[in-house]
Structure 1
Amino acid sequence: MKKELLHLRSWLCRSTALVAILSCSVGMSGSAFANLITNGSFEEPTIPPVPPGGFISVCSGSSFDGWDVVGAGCVSPISGLFTSGGLTFPAQDGDFWVDMTGNVSNSATGIEQTVTTSIGTLYDLSFWVGNQVNPGGPYGTTSTIEVFVGGVSQGTFTNSGGAGTFTQNWQQFTLGFTALNTSTPIELLNKDFFDNSNGLDNIVLLPHGSPPPSVPEPGTLSLFGLGLGALGVARRRKAD
């Protein structure tokens, strides 16, 4: 009996160690694929802060956490609680988003940041464009963003969704590129010159094929489950 008890204790220790190791693996898996974009959802505090239900203007030559404003006018970090004329403008992710048209700026203005990249590596850049369908009103019917990577245009991306609703509609776009340098400027530019809303939110840059930030790989989760199963068996045998 004493020998069997020692055997079970040894098994329990090994199982506990396995679970601890796999727990660390899960944590590292999530952090290994962290978003390479700083403040991609615009949740970091601005100076001055964005008031609840309001917005601020940040103009060309200025910056807010992680982003430089480029072009001719201003952009507006804006609260997801903002409403206007019976229309609502929620964020796609978190509590804040950026109106690329600014405070009726309506110019070729945008935001840019330079990220560290590895030469020859393929990356996926995703972002969400917000649109309010407001025919005859100040917010128009479409929203368009042009994306530049390393100073080269990757095309324009238009969201025309949201007809029949009073809530800002969000559409995700994704593009891929191969890094040519160890640092790569990412620029997103307003191309909606004829109305007063062009939403941008939740910008994510990852090496191609990476899982989303903070989501463990399925294989790691399976191993974690096996570790927990082994621990459960050991405990049941000890109880018997």
Structure 2
Amino acid sequence: MQTSATPTRFRSDIQGLRGIAVLLVVLYHAGLPLAHAGFIGVDIFFVISGFLITGLLQREAINNGRIALLRFFGRRIRRLLPAALVLLLFVCVVSAWLYPPLEQRDIYSAARAASLYLANIWFAGRAVDYLGGEAESNPMLHMWSLAVEEQFYIVWPLLIAALVATARAGRQQIRLLAGVALVCLVSLAACVWITWRSQPLAFFGTPLRAWEFGIGGLASLLGPRLLLLPQAGRNLLAALGTLLL
């Protein structure tokens, strides 16, 4: 999976986190006994995306006084859509040889949803259990996370732009922190509540994943302030972050 906003300055720390996330997901799908929770690699990717996109949008808003939404969306489309369409076409062609007609119908239906970045909604609507073995029969299953990311890329810039536009001069940072924190709290509370009632919806639903992107956004917004902490405080935060992984 690929995040769509990469800062011009190479970030070895973020690349390291991406490597950990990829490794966790690969080990999970390999079925190794000690990697049963490796699916959290996707959660790490969501946090990274929230961190990068929030920082990108905040810098643009501060430097230019506004966010060029059309240019932002255009960059996302050019970067992700061509590769995604090639992958979908390849999987559909191969599926014609490897899967029986009944399963092909589901695969092609999921592919149509994935081409519109709605794969997560498609699987949630069919109450697919991502952690269940039967879900692996549809090769389009793994497009759900890309759909969640794309939906985030559509909504998040609008939210950040609205928060910046409605804040008084000099209060944009506070408005952003409050707005993103509120999104995290509401999304997490809803996720916990719905998990007990519909695990597929809690797993695939973008609004119920928003708190993960929001955590990354808060880290981006608070980053400059955290650098003012004494070295011991920064080391403690780094240790806590490592333990959380």
TM-score (structure 1 length as normaliser): 0.24
Which structure is higher in RCO with an 8 Å CA cutoff and minimum separation 6? 1
TM-score (structure 2 length as normaliser): 0.24
Greater helix share, structure number: 2
Greater strand share, structure number: 1
